[in-house]
Structure 1
Amino acid sequence: MDDAAPLQVIGSGATINDATQNAFDRASELFHISEGEVRARCTFTGGVEIARLPGVVQLSMLTPIELLESAGLGSLVLDKYT
C-alpha cells in the first residue's frame, strides 16, 4: 500500500481483552471509522501485540494517508516515513 503508513495505537485495561477492546475503540474514534474496519485493517496489515506491562496491548496497522490527514497526523507520519 503506497498510500498508507504504519500506525500504532496503545490500549489498556484490567485484562488483555479489555485492553484490546480499548485499542479498537481508540483507533475507531481517532479515525472516525467502525470497529469492524479497524479490526479488518489490523488483521490484514498489522496485529495486536501484548505489551510488557500487564493490561496493555499495541494495535498496529497500515493506515491510509487520508485517514491520517483527517486525524491531523498526516504531516507527522509522512515526515517520518517518506
Structure 2
Amino acid sequence: MEPEKMNGQEPVDYAARVLRVHEQASEVLEDPAIAMQWMLRPSVLLNGDRPLDALATQAGYDRVQSLLVRLEHGVGI
C-alpha cells in the first residue's frame, strides 16, 4: 500500500523540509521558539500562506528558502 501523500509529496519529504527550514530559521532568527512562531504565522511575502503550509510543495519550499536567505542577508523584503 502506498503511503498517504500531501499535495503529491511523501509525508517524509514534508517532514524533512519542515526540519530543514526550522533549523535554518532558528539560525537566522537566533532562537528556535521565534523560528517556530515565524513558521506558524501567515506571511504577506508568501501570499498570506504560513511558511509551514508552503512547505507542502517544492515551489513553496523554494519561496520559503528564498525568504530566509533574504532575511539572513538583510536584503529588502
Q: TM-score, normalised by structure 1?
A: 0.44
Q: Hey, which of these two has a bigger chunk of strand by percent?
A: 1
Which structure: greater helix fraction? 2
TM norm structure 2: 0.46
